[in-house]
Structure 1
Amino acid sequence: MGLTSRSLEYAVAAAAVVCVGLTLWLWPRFAGRGARPLLGRLGVIAGTQLVIVAALGLAVNANFQFYASWHELLGLYDDAPAAVGKWGDGGAAGPVGDPSKGLVQASGPDGLDKVHGLPKGAPATAGRVESVRIVGKRTRAVDPAYVYLPPQYFQPQYARQRFPVVVALSGYPGGTFLLGQHLRLPQTAAGLIRAGRMQPTVIVMMRPTIAPPRDTQCVDVPGGPQAETFFARDVPDALRSRYRVGHDPGGWGVMGYSSGGSCALQLAMRHDRTYTSAAALSPDYKVSDDPTTGDLFGGGRDRVRRREEHDLMWRLRRLPAPRVDVLIGTSRSGEKNYPAARAFLAAVKPPMTADSVVLAHGSHNFATWRQELPAALEWMSRSLTFPEDVVGNS
Structure 2
Amino acid sequence: MGLTSQKVLLLAVLVAVALFVLTIWLWPRLSKGNWRAVLGRIGLLVATQLSLFATIGLYANNSFGFYASWADLFGQEQEPGVVTDYQTGPNGTKLRMLGTERVSVQNGSRPATGGRIDKVLVRGEHSQIASPAYVYLPPQYFQKKYAGKKFPAALVLTGYPGTAEALYKKLHFPQTQHELLKKQKMRPTVLVMMRPTVAPPRDTECMDIPNGPQTETFFTKDLRADISEHYRIGREAKSWGVVGDSTGGYCALKMTMRHPEAYSSAVALSGAYKAPRDATTGDLFGGNRQLERENNLLWRQRHLPAPPVNLLVTSSKQGEGNYQQTLRFIEQTKSPSRVSSIILDSGGHNFNTWRREIPAALEWLGNHLRA
TM-score, L = length of structure 2: 0.91
- Asked if structure 1 preserves the Cα contact closer than 8 Å seen for 2:274 and 2:295, the reply is yes
Query: d(CA) in 1 for partners of 2:326 and 2:176?
Result: 25
Query: Which segments of structure 1 move beyond 4 Å, counting only runs of 4 or more?
Result: 94-102, 115-119
Task: State the partner residue of 1:382.
Answer: 367
Distance 1:126 1:146, change over 3 A: same
Moved more, 330-339 or 250-259: 330-339
The amino acid that maps onto 2:331 is A
Say which SS state the counterpart of residue 19 (structure 2) adopts. helix
Distance 1:95 1:139, change over 3 A: farther
Query: d(CA) in 1 for partners of 2:284 and 2:235?
Result: 31
Aligned pairs, number? 364
**What aligned pairs does 1:52-91 form with structure 2 within 5 A after superposition?**
52-77=52-77
Query: d(CA) in 2 for partners of 1:160 and 1:312?
Result: 39
Query: d(CA) in 1 for partners of 2:104 and 2:179?
Result: 14
Task: State the partner residue of 2:358.
Answer: 373
Task: State the partner residue of 1:347.
Answer: 332
Pair 1:258-2:246 in alignment: yes
Residue 154 of structure 1 deviates from its aligned partner by 0.5
Residue 199 of structure 1 deviates from its aligned partner by 0.5
Residue 206 of structure 1 deviates from its aligned partner by 1.0
Residue 261 of structure 1 deviates from its aligned partner by 0.7
Distance 1:336 1:56, change over 3 A: closer
The answer for unaligned runs of 5 or more in structure 1 is 78-93, 389-394
Task: State the partner residue of 2:316.
Answer: 331
Residue 19 of structure 1 deviates from its aligned partner by 1.9
RMSD, aligned α-carbons: 2.4
Task: State the partner residue of 2:17.
Answer: 17
Residue 26 of structure 1 deviates from its aligned partner by 2.1
**What aligned pairs does 1:34-183 form with structure 2 within 5 A after superposition?**
34-77=34-77, 101=85, 103-107=94-98, 117=105, 120-183=108-171
Query: d(CA) in 2 for partners of 1:216 and 1:165?
Result: 23
**What aligned pairs does 1:299-338 form with structure 2 within 5 A after superposition?**
299=287, 303-338=288-323
Pair 1:201-2:192 in alignment: no
Say which SS state the counterpart of residue 165 (structure 2) adopts. helix
Residue 152 of structure 1 deviates from its aligned partner by 1.0
The amino acid that maps onto 2:311 is V
Query: d(CA) in 2 for partners of 1:381 and 1:138?
Result: 29
Residue 108 of structure 1 deviates from its aligned partner by 5.9
TM-score, L = length of structure 1: 0.86
Query: d(CA) in 2 for partners of 1:223 and 1:129?
Result: 35
Distance 1:305 1:187, change over 3 A: same
Query: d(CA) in 1 for partners of 2:16 and 2:353?
Result: 34
Query: d(CA) in 1 for partners of 2:178 and 2:279?
Result: 38
Say which SS state the counterpart of residue 367 (structure 2) adopts. helix
Pair 1:289-2:277 in alignment: yes
Query: d(CA) in 2 for partners of 1:248 and 1:254?
Result: 14
